Amino acid sequence: MGSFFSAAVSRRTLLRQASAGAALAGTGLSLTNPSWAQSAATELTPGVPSGISSYATMATLPGKKPLIRLADRGPNYEAPLEYFRTPITPNDEFFVRYHLSNIPEVDAKTYKIAVGGEGANGQTEITLDALKKMPAYEVVAVNQCSGNRRGLSQPHVAGVEWGFGAMGCARWKGARLKDVLATIGLKPEAIEIAFNGADGPVIDKTPDFIKSLPVWKAVDESTLIAYEMNGAPLPHFNGFPARLIVPGWTGTYWMKHLISVTALTKPQGGFWMNPAYRIPIGKFPVVARFVSQENATSTPITEMVVNSLITSHRDGASVKAGKVTVSGLAWDGGYGIRAVEVSTDDGKTWAQAKVGQDLGRFAFRPWSFDISAKRGKVTVMANAINAIGQTQTATLIFNPAGYHNNVMQRVTLNAD
């Protein structure tokens, strides 16, 4: 793959990416927006490790609004709470997450996806034009980093210490992966489909970021190779020109700058399949299994657990006594949100929130609830329930990588 692809992209460093962005200074995509150097302290999620506030700033990548910059190389930027007040996240507010620092600017004209592998009946290359000529499908789906809310784990665990903002929801348009695979055909012994992106490590010793899916999920009708995000080409930092969309499953499978699709007859190896991105067996109520990768103690993370976020108010916000509308978002692994309940008495009693626009079972579902706030403090909790009856948890299910944190949030408002 590597040799064919090196001709298809021009390798450019992030620094050059940034300078290309600087040339856009007059176009409203300015890197010199004064907010880029603003401390992110007030935007950080309460509870993340204290070290972050010593250096994190709001920073503006080319084509993006200010995001909370946790690291610039590889680029890891999360969205502040205010960007989650609509069920669709605009492209310029969408979070950015990379493992590796060598991120080429891919030339759409020469871009190709190599499709083949031992588990396929042949091999082919698909250009962006060819991809766009295939039957197109759209899905509104949440892309959430597996480690979203890792920074809230108690005790803290190593990794990128995300707060609430390593997620977003967009309308993705592209070809079905199953249609792409059908152009060559799978052998009966194919068990996984592996994916690689154009981004790579700085030194050879670092394993390239390669991920696989079980065949059943790869050929699901919702799994797409997308070239549009909310009606526009994908932003560079979200995988231009095409990326994998795996609705319901965590972001680790959503390969950006997709350059190869490989049918396997043996399980994909490598650091990023094991030990990375694994959860302990039996700890979480997930339905979707990745059997070919399971072992006695762990299994790859698969679908997202049901979750919600209060987005109208920050913890500690001041409000006027009286009617206060608290609102937010709810989502899950693709079963759909059945209800959201709210409690203002520490979880003793719950009342149904009003759920808003249904953009599909993979989308953020907006909700709102009117509370009657007396003078003083009131603590609001939210709990989402999905269509198969799963709910959020009252206490953290600890795991060493800090995944699947769906502890019910508590937001305290000060009414006067």
Partner 1 sequence: MRRFVIAFLATMFAVPALAQSQLQQIKLKPGPGLDAVERNCGTCHSLAYIPMNSPFLNAAGWNADQGDGSADRRR
Instruction: Give residues in contact with partner 1 (CB under 8 A).
Output: 15-16, 18-19, 21-23, 31-32, 36, 49-52, 54-57, 59, 69-74, 99, 101, 155-156, 158-161, 201-203, 205-207, 271-272, 275-276
Sign of the four-CA dihedral 366, 371, 375, 377:
negative
Find the shortest distance in angstroms from Cβ 66 to partner 1. 12
Residue 27 phi, psi dihedral angles, 5° rounding = -105, 5
Find the shortest distance in angstroms from Cβ 4 to partner 1. 25
| 128-132-134 Cα angle (round to 5) | 120
Find the shortest distance in angstroms from Cβ 104 to partner 1. 16
Residue number, 190 or 276, with CB nearest to partner 1 = 276
CB 363 within 8 A of CB 313: no
- Using DSSP's 3-state secondary structure scheme, residue 386 falls into strand
Enter the DSSP assignment of 203: S
Find the shortest distance in angstroms from Cβ 33 to partner 1. 11
- Report the distance separating Cα 157 and Cα 139, nearest Å: 34
Residue number, 14 or 353, with CB nearest to partner 1 = 14
Residue number, 233 or 400, with CB nearest to partner 1 = 400
Residue number, 165 or 333, with CB nearest to partner 1 = 165
Find the shortest distance in angstroms from Cβ 50 to partner 1. 5
- Report the distance separating Cα 260 and Cα 116, nearest Å: 8
- Report the distance separating Cα 233 and Cα 174, nearest Å: 11
Task: List, edge to edge, every strand of the sheet that includes 410-415.
Answer: 318-319, 410-415, 376-386, 337-343, 351-352
**Single-letter code of the amino acid located at 77:** Y
Find the shortest distance in angstroms from Cβ 379 to partner 1. 27
Residue number, 72 or 105, with CB nearest to partner 1 = 72
Residue number, 30 or 368, with CB nearest to partner 1 = 30
